[in-house]
Amino acid sequence: MKIGRWILALLLLGVLAWGTASRWTKREASRATRADTTPPAPKIPDDSTARAPSGVRVRVQVVNATTINGLARRATRWLRDRGFDVVEIGTTRDRIDSSLVLDRSGHPDWARRAAKAMGGARVESRPDSSRYLDLTVLVGRSWRPPAETLDP
Compute CA distances 131 → 61, 76, 91, 138, whole Å. Answer: 10, 18, 17, 16
Residue range 66-82, pLDDT digits in tens: 999 999 999 999 999 99
pLDDT at 63 over 80: yes
Q: What is the mean pLDDT of residues 78-91?
A: 95
* Band of residue 152 on the pLDDT scale cut at 50, 70, 90: low
The vertex-61 CA angle with 94 and 63, nearest 5°, equals 25
Strands (E), 38-142: 59-64, 85-91, 100-103, 122-125, 135-139
Residue range 1-57, pLDDT digits in tens: 577 788 888 888 887 777 777 777 777 766 655 544 444 444 444 566 789 999 999
Share of the chain above pLDDT 90, in %: 56
- pLDDT number for residue 151: 59
- pTM over 0.85? The answer is no
Residue range 124-141, pLDDT digits in tens: 999 988 889 999 999 999
3-state SS of 41-66 is CCCCCCCHHHCCCCCCCCEEEEEECC
- pLDDT number for residue 5: 81
For 48-139, CATH number out of 3.40.50.300, 3.40.50.720, 3.30.70.2390, 3.40.1260.10 equals 3.30.70.2390
